[in-house]
Chain A
Amino acid sequence: MAKWRRFYRVSITRRFMSMLIFTIMLILLGSILMVWGSSRLLSDYEASTREMKTKQELVSDIALHTNDIILRARGYYVYLTDFEYEQIFEQKEALEKSIAEFKQLGLTTSELEIIQAIEAFFDTYFSSTLPVAVEYAKSGNYEALRSLISADASNPVNELISYANDFEAYLRKAEQEKNTQLVRDFARQGILFILYVGLILVISLFIVRRMSVDLGGPLSNLSLAASRFARGDHAHFDYQEREDEIGRLARSLETMMITLHSKEEELVAQNEELLAQQDELQMQQEELEHALGKMSENERFLQKRNLLVQSLANTLNKQELLDSIITNLVKLTGSDKGMIILTGNGGDYSAYGLSDKAAEHFANHYGESLMARAIQKRNLYIHEREATDAERAYHLDGIKVTDTYVPVLGDNDEIIACLLLTKIGRELSDQEQEEISGLATQISLALAKLGIYEESEYQRQINHDMLNTIQEAVQLVDTNGLTLHVNRMWYEMFDLKTCVEYGGRMELADFNELLQKKVAEPQALIQFIKQVVKGEVAGVTSMNYELHEPVKRYVQIYYEPLYRGSELFGVLLVHRDITKEYEVDRMKSEFVSTVSHELRTPLASVLGFAELLLHRELKPDRQRKYISTIHQEARRLTTLINDFLDLQRMESGRQSYDMKPAKLGELVQEAMELQKVNVSSHNLIWKDEAREAIVFADRDKMLQVFTNLINNAIKYSPHGGKITIHLRTEKGRLLVTTQDEGLGIPADALPNLFNKFYRVDNSDRREIGGTGLGLAIVKEIINRHKGDISVHSVLGEGSAFTISLPLFEPQEQGGEEQSYPSPSDTGAADIMLIENDRNLAVMLREELEGNGYRVHLFTEGSTAVHAMKSISPKVVVVDLMLETEFDGWAVIEQMRSEDKLNQIPIVISSAFEEQDRAAKMGIRHFLIKPYEPHKLTVIIQTILNQEPAV
């Protein structure tokens, strides 16, 4: 029992389920009882009804069979048929059967009486009556029969029939009673069931109430306690002892409350910690916000700066840059107008929103404006003022204007530019001021960049000019063979305009191709360059090659490796045009060879004939002939040597000329006289149309000229003929022509006619003999006299040589005098010429005077230096080798040591090649004798053009 109790107490569900099952069981039991009751009532009713029916049917059957027996008997009486008879017995059997059945049933007394009566009747009937009656019938004794029948007929049978009828009525009545009874029973049963259900409901209500008291109360108490707890109040309940869910719930709740309580404490601690953290975070956030503010401020500034940088025209043109700076700065700072001025040389400036006049005025006077303060402060200076009328335009009320003076500082804190920004009607915030300062730094950078660019551009230009001035073709090739840079001379040498036809990039292969086209025997050169580029050449540092296009040149190529740090960067190929040297060299060796040939020929004759004379027995006429030949050849040798030495002297400038005014006609005639001895069949004609013409000349040399010319005319007219010498003046010059009717000169020989040892290559002329130097000497002498010689010749008809000399102007009193014109003479520049070779001095003096300079000629250095202070010449031309101890170098040193003289440009004119020493003394102008006089003029002009301030 205790176990069951525990079973129930443990679970509310179990309890609830038990109660529910109990209730349902009661209802079910009630229902079953009711159904059972009803069905029993019904079955009782049906059983009694069926019994009565069966009784009734049996009564009916009995009645019927009885009736039939009687009737069949009577039929048989009448008809005497067997069938009727048999039927009587059949009916008797059926009757007996029914009676037997009937007897089985519960019979009332009356019924038993009736049945017994019937049985008694038929016992009699069949045992007596019938066999009698049958006998009567068979005997036809109807009378007896009738009486017999009538005697016994009526009693039990009729009685039975009426009973049957009565019984039927009784049954009907009994059935009715039964029905009524049944209805009554049902009604009673229904009432009982309703009462029963009501009882169950009451029980249920009781159960529910118990349940609600048992569950609802504690639950609501618990929920109240929970909600109180949730509200934070103290909650108390005491269901913990219970074993069911409530108990468990209560315990759990209590545990939970305890846990929560402890958690809460923990949480409170955590919360406090969090709060502290939050405070900290908040502080950090504030800091961050502050930083963010600064950053966005910075960002704004940077944006502006970037805008400035981006918008600054990407130019390296100063003016463009300034324009760009001021335009953008005015826009960026929200100013209305502004101006930037560079403080350096040139004072470039650019204005925005200003009239040209105002801008120019400020550019010239900014130093006197408030800018001076900004410059002094080296910081912004802000000035607020009322707008001027112009600035106010049509506004009538006063407008505030803010001028911001900004000095732009360079790297070394020097002022490189000044800025003025003007804002009309708006104030300049502190932040804007800072921004302007920042932008000023940016501008400083831009200007510095420009400065660097200008400087590097200047350097580049200098380098470029230097490179292009060099007379060597310079080519920089990198280690891959790509040509990186060439100079002007290079283009000239290879006859290229640009490298464009090589796609702007000349690879080694392109260059080789170029060389293939332009160089004679290019393979060796190509190989050389290939090795040089690869850095493989050892020992050989240069080679020579021959260019045949565009003009024939001999070129020496040498190279210098170019290093960047320690790494080979490329190779500098230098193509040096050595055509002149080559020619000189070639001419020299040719000359030596020629001289040797020219000397050996007469020597061979002299030696040969002398040997024959010595070792042979010869006839006197042959001896004579040989001796005469020896003499002639020895003379030829002498002439040759003399001519040769003359020419050498003249060419080297060492030949001195004794220049004097001379009547040329007389000289020519003298020469003619001298040559008359050589004349055989020639007719010398003298045609003088300038008898009194005077030239400034060295008599002896002029005599040599005409002797040579007349001698040539005679020599090369082996068959005689007229030789006309014609003297005349033309356009201030004296012309002398020697015309012969001789062999003439082939046209191809004319260009070389005046070259040394040149002889028209023809055997018949070999007979004529000659040194091949005569005309070269003539030309040299004539050049020295500022003259010209020309030739006109037709092969086989004769030749005409014409000499042209300047006529001597009598007012020119020669060059000997040493005048000291006063420095106050104006006009032409004073040039001092210190030269001890008088001929040369006179010549140079004429050259310079002819070009409008005033020349002061000195032969001694000391006198010259002494005079220099009073003359103050613009240029001093000095020979190094002067006659006294006081030579050219002494003059230069003296000049350098004196303040008044050390700035005077010096030109050295000397036969010594001492350019290095001159360069050390800072003298760049060096003329090596012999030189053409006009070169001096060119140099002096250059100097005076370059140095106008001296």
Chain B
Amino acid sequence: MAAILLAEDEPVLRMLVMDSLEDEGYEIEVACDGEEAFERIQEREFDLIILDYMMPKMTGIEVIERTRELENRKHTKILMLSAKSQQTEQDKVLQAGADDFMSKPFSPLDLIAKVGDMLDG
């Protein structure tokens, strides 16, 4: 089963995403801030990384950038969750190296579908 890293500082949202995806049978690992997320990424390889945009210590963008700098993480799929929905923000995120983007509030079912698509593709 695919391994997913979820980095989200809001506990309630963390629970929401985790519950949704675990029910689908994915193996979920969580991180509560950017630094922690980057540590996890360095430790092992995930099939997908879901990152919150606004996180303490290191923002989602920074995590993406640093991840892409790693030799063997250049092609790891990254999905960004953000409360910022403006087009400019989306562009910024995609430019930094994310593969896809979802804005908050999001539908858990859409998320599940998107995750499935990303892992298949």
Could you list which residues of chain A lie within 8 angstroms of chain B, going by C-beta atoms? 593, 596-597, 600-609, 611-612, 615-616, 622, 629, 632-633, 761-764, 766-767
Known: A597-B83, A616-B23, A629-B15. A766 touches B10 (CB 8 A): yes
Minimum C-beta distance from A288 to chain B (A): 97
How many angstroms from the CA of A913 to the CA of B27 in the assembled complex?
60
Are B12 and A633 in touch, CB under 8 angstroms? yes
Q: In the complex, what residue of chain B is closest to A612 when comparing beta carbons?
A: B108
Partner of B109, one of A600, A611, A767: A611
Residues of chain A with a CB closer than 8 A to B19's CB? 612, 622
Interface CB pairs A-B, < 8 A, 28 = A597-B54, A600-B103, A600-B105, A601-B10, A601-B12, A601-B13, A601-B83, A601-B104, A602-B12, A603-B105, A604-B13, A604-B83, A604-B106, A605-B10, A605-B12, A605-B13, A606-B105, A607-B106, A607-B107, A609-B16, A612-B108, A615-B109, A629-B15, A633-B12, A761-B56, A761-B57, A762-B56, A766-B32
Residues of chain B with a CB closer than 8 A to A612's CB? 16, 19-20, 108
How many angstroms from the CA of A705 to the CA of B32 in the assembled complex?
31
Partner of A597, one of B32, B84, B106: B84
How many angstroms from the CA of A622 to the CA of B85 in the assembled complex?
30
Residues of chain B with a CB closer than 8 A to A762's CB? 56-57
Minimum C-beta distance from A615 to chain B (A): 6
Q: Which 7 A-B pairs have the closest CB atoms?
A: A604-B105, A600-B83, A763-B33, A597-B83, A604-B104, A763-B32, A608-B16
Known: A608-B16, A615-B109, A633-B12. A600 touches B104 (CB 8 A): yes
Residues of chain B with a CB closer than 8 A to A615's CB? 109
How many angstroms from the CA of A279 to the CA of B68 in the assembled complex?
122
How many angstroms from the CA of A267 to the CA of B83 in the assembled complex?
130
Residues of chain B with a CB closer than 8 A to A602's CB? 12
Are B107 and A608 in touch, CB under 8 angstroms? yes
Are A763 and B9 in touch, CB under 8 angstroms? yes
How many angstroms from the CA of A763 to the CA of B30 in the assembled complex?
13
Known: A601-B13, A601-B104, A766-B32. 12 other contacts (CB 8 A): A600-B105, A605-B13, A605-B16, A607-B105, A612-B19, A612-B108, A615-B109, A629-B15, A633-B12, A763-B9, A763-B33, A763-B57
Residues of chain B with a CB closer than 8 A to A764's CB? 32
Known: A596-B83, A596-B84. A608 touches B105 (CB 8 A): yes
B47 within 8 A of A: no
Of A608, A612, A629, A764, chain B has the most CB atoms within 10 Å of the CB of A608
Prevailing SS type, chain A contact patch = helix
B11 within 8 A of A: yes
B36 within 8 A of A: yes
Residues of chain A with a CB closer than 8 A to B57's CB? 761-763
How many chain B residues touch A (CB < 8 A): the figure is 27
Are B36 and A763 in touch, CB under 8 angstroms? yes
How many angstroms from the CA of A606 to the CA of B9 in the assembled complex?
17
Minimum C-beta distance from B39 to chain A (A): 13
Residues of chain B with a CB closer than 8 A to A609's CB? 16
Are B56 and A766 in touch, CB under 8 angstroms? yes
Are B84 and A766 in touch, CB under 8 angstroms? no
Of B12, B15, B20, chain A has the most CB atoms within 10 Å of the CB of B12
Residues of chain B with a CB closer than 8 A to A608's CB? 13, 16, 20, 105-108
How many angstroms from the CA of A501 to the CA of B84 in the assembled complex?
50
Are A611 and B108 in touch, CB under 8 angstroms? yes
Residues of chain B with a CB closer than 8 A to A763's CB? 9, 32-33, 36, 55-57
Q: In the complex, what residue of chain A is closest to B107 when comparing beta carbons?
A: A611
Are A604 and B16 in touch, CB under 8 angstroms? yes
Q: In the complex, what residue of chain A is closest to B106 when comparing beta carbons?
A: A604
Residues of chain A with a CB closer than 8 A to B56's CB? 761-763, 766
Minimum C-beta distance from A770 to chain B (A): 12
How many angstroms from the CA of A525 to the CA of B85 in the assembled complex?
33
Minimum C-beta distance from A761 to chain B (A): 5
Of A611, A615, A629, A764, chain B has the most CB atoms within 10 Å of the CB of A611
Minimum C-beta distance from B19 to chain A (A): 7
Residues of chain A with a CB closer than 8 A to B54's CB? 597
How many angstroms from the CA of A612 to the CA of B109 in the assembled complex?
8
Query: For chain B residues 1-28, which have a beta carbon within 8 Å of chain A?
Result: 9-13, 15-16, 19-20, 23
How many angstroms from the CA of A762 to the CA of B11 in the assembled complex?
13
Residues of chain A with a CB closer than 8 A to B55's CB? 763
How many angstroms from the CA of A604 to the CA of B105 in the assembled complex?
4
Minimum C-beta distance from A630 to chain B (A): 9
Known: A596-B83, A597-B84. A766 touches B108 (CB 8 A): no
Q: In the complex, what residue of chain B is closest to A615 when comparing beta carbons?
A: B109
How many angstroms from the CA of A609 to the CA of B107 in the assembled complex?
9
Q: In the complex, what residue of chain A is closest to B54 when comparing beta carbons?
A: A597
Are B11 and A767 in touch, CB under 8 angstroms? yes
How many angstroms from the CA of A605 to the CA of B17 in the assembled complex?
10
Residues of chain B with a CB closer than 8 A to A629's CB? 12, 15
Query: For chain B residues 72-121, which have a beta carbon within 8 Å of chain A?
Result: 83-85, 103-109
Residues of chain A with a CB closer than 8 A to B33's CB? 763, 766
How many angstroms from the CA of A551 to the CA of B106 in the assembled complex?
44
How many angstroms from the CA of A772 to the CA of B11 in the assembled complex?
17
Residues of chain A with a CB closer than 8 A to B107's CB? 607-608, 611
Of A593, A604, A606, A632, chain B has the most CB atoms within 10 Å of the CB of A604
Are B84 and A593 in touch, CB under 8 angstroms? yes
How many angstroms from the CA of A593 to the CA of B85 in the assembled complex?
10
Minimum C-beta distance from B33 to chain A (A): 4
Q: Mark contacts of B29-51 with chain A using CB atoms, 8 A cut-off: 1 yes-contact digit, 0 otherwise.
A: 00011001000000000000000
Are B9 and A766 in touch, CB under 8 angstroms? yes
How many angstroms from the CA of A734 to the CA of B110 in the assembled complex?
56
Q: In the complex, what residue of chain B is closest to A767 when comparing beta carbons?
A: B11
Residues of chain A with a CB closer than 8 A to B11's CB? 766-767
Residues of chain B with a CB closer than 8 A to A766's CB? 9-11, 32-33, 56
How many angstroms from the CA of A622 to the CA of B23 in the assembled complex?
12
Minimum C-beta distance from A775 to chain B (A): 18
Residues of chain B with a CB closer than 8 A to A761's CB? 56-57
How many angstroms from the CA of A611 to the CA of B16 in the assembled complex?
10
Minimum C-beta distance from B8 to chain A (A): 9
Residues of chain B with a CB closer than 8 A to A622's CB? 19
Residues of chain A with a CB closer than 8 A to B106's CB? 604, 607-608
Residues of chain A with a CB closer than 8 A to B108's CB? 608, 611-612
Minimum C-beta distance from A597 to chain B (A): 4
Residues of chain A with a CB closer than 8 A to B109's CB? 611, 615
Minimum C-beta distance from A579 to chain B (A): 25
How many angstroms from the CA of A761 to the CA of B9 in the assembled complex?
11
Q: In the complex, what residue of chain B is closest to A606 when comparing beta carbons?
A: B105
Residues of chain A with a CB closer than 8 A to B83's CB? 596-597, 600-601, 604
How many angstroms from the CA of A703 to the CA of B67 in the assembled complex?
49
Residues of chain A with a CB closer than 8 A to B84's CB? 593, 596-597
Residues of chain A with a CB closer than 8 A to B36's CB? 763
Q: In the complex, what residue of chain B is closest to A622 when comparing beta carbons?
A: B19
Minimum C-beta distance from A812 to chain B (A): 48
How many angstroms from the CA of A254 to the CA of B116 in the assembled complex?
160
Are A603 and B104 in touch, CB under 8 angstroms? yes
How many angstroms from the CA of A596 to the CA of B82 in the assembled complex?
11
How many angstroms from the CA of A111 to the CA of B56 in the assembled complex?
206
Residues of chain A with a CB closer than 8 A to B103's CB? 600
Q: In the complex, what residue of chain A is closest to B105 when comparing beta carbons?
A: A604
How many angstroms from the CA of A24 to the CA of B32 in the assembled complex?
172
Residues of chain A with a CB closer than 8 A to B23's CB? 616
Residues of chain B with a CB closer than 8 A to A606's CB? 105
How many angstroms from the CA of A853 to the CA of B84 in the assembled complex?
53
Residues of chain B with a CB closer than 8 A to A632's CB? 12
How many angstroms from the CA of A763 to the CA of B56 in the assembled complex?
6
